[in-house]
Structure 1
Amino acid sequence: MRSMPRSAGVTSTCELQRTQLPNGPILNVIDTPGWFDFSIDLEIIGKELVKCIDLAKDGIHAVLLVLSVRSHFSREQQAAVQSLKHFFGNDITDYMIVVFTGRS
């Protein structure tokens, strides 16, 4: 997946990357756009969300929530977590791993 040091999102469409681990299992990672980037048109986010749900049809084992150490947990980010709960069920937070990025 692409990564860049910037405050706005890098991913503009849902992307699936697949790799086989050394001991045999296949690991699927879905990178999603726009969960916290409310400058993106909501219609585009909706279409990509539907695509993401389709890509995750085999189940979700973990959700990475990537936050910057330079900012507070905003209302928009809270709303994004609520939308994850809405689309994937309240138990999605049981699978959430929080990752902090940036330097202090």
Structure 2
Amino acid sequence: MSERDWICCGRPVTVVDTPGLFDTSLSNEEIQQEMMRCIELLAPGPHVFLLVIAVGPFTKEERETLQLIKMTFGQKAETYTMEAERAFRLMQMNREKEEELRQEIEAVKATYESEIKEIKDKLEEEKAKGKIREFLLVERGITMLRQRRENHRH
């Protein structure tokens, strides 16, 4: 039995590696006693049992292991038992959803970036128009001043 503390999604998680449930050198009673010692480390109790088995059909030993878990923790324990293969599928689904969300975020970001660019371009265009107007007004003023000078000379 070994215990290890991890942080998962910002929450502390304690993982307890139980005795080898497929260990044929131990009796079911010995395995149950060892498992109960493991559970003491998990007060107020485990939230999930992760059963790591090879991919393929259930063997007799694996079925017996599930029965042993039920005997030790009650009939509802099966509800909280997750096979590693199932956990892998769930992780795959989470990765797919994460990828979908990332793509959605990128699409929204791209939309807003293009809108922001349009607004900036319009702003630059308005600034340019303002400068042209300003230039035209200055040029007009200079022209008027020149005309006045010409009129005063004559």
One fold, TM greater than 0.5? Answer: yes
Alpha-carbon distance in structure 2 between the residues aligned to 1:98 and 1:46: 20
Q: 2:69 aligns with which of 70, 80, 84?
A: 84
Q: 1:72 aligns with which of 23, 35, 57?
A: 57
Name the structure with the higher helix share.
2
Deviation of residue 63 (structure 1)? 0.8
Q: Which runs of 4+ in 1 moved over 6 A?
A: none
Q: Is the counterpart of residue 15 in structure 1 residue 2 in structure 2? A: yes
Gaps of 5+ in 1: 1-13
For 2:21, what is the secondary structure of its paired residue?
coil
Q: Is the counterpart of residue 93 in structure 1 residue 92 in structure 2? A: no
Q: Is the counterpart of residue 37 in structure 1 residue 37 in structure 2? A: no
42-51 or 56-65, which moves further after superposition?
A: 42-51
Alpha-carbon distance in structure 2 between the residues aligned to 1:50 and 1:59: 10
Name the structure with the higher strand share.
1
Q: Name the CA shift for 1:46/1:85 in 2 (closer, same or farther; >3 Å).
A: closer
Counterpart residue type for residue 48 of structure 2: A
TM-score normalised over the length of structure 1: 0.67
Alpha-carbon distance in structure 2 between the residues aligned to 1:83 and 1:22: 31
- Look up the match of 1:49: 35
Deviation of residue 96 (structure 1)? 1.4
TM-score normalised over the length of structure 2: 0.48
81-90 or 91-100, which moves further after superposition?
A: 91-100
Q: CA RMSD in A?
A: 2.0
Q: Is the counterpart of residue 27 in structure 1 residue 13 in structure 2? A: yes
Alpha-carbon distance in structure 2 between the residues aligned to 1:46 and 1:97: 19
User: When the two structures are aligned, how many residues end up with a matched partner?
Assistant: 84
